Amino acid sequence: MAALAAKAARSLLHLEQDDLSRQ
């Protein structure tokens, strides 16, 4: 369960980073 939560958090962070890089 914790592993899945951490994985989801990482994916969200990666998405945010991608959005910033696009700008």
Dump pLDDT digits (tens) for 1-23: 899 999 988 888 887 777 767 77
pLDDT value at position 9? 87
pLDDT value at position 22? 72
pLDDT value at position 7? 92
> Could you give the C-alpha distances from 19 to 1, 3, 6, 7, 13, in angstroms and in order?
27, 24, 20, 19, 10
Q: Each residue of 1-23: b (16+ CB within 10 Å) or e?
A: eeeeeeeeeeeeeeeeeeeeeee
Residue type, 3: A
Tokens coding 8: 């989801």
What is the pTM (predicted TM-score) of this model? 0.46
pLDDT value at position 4? 94
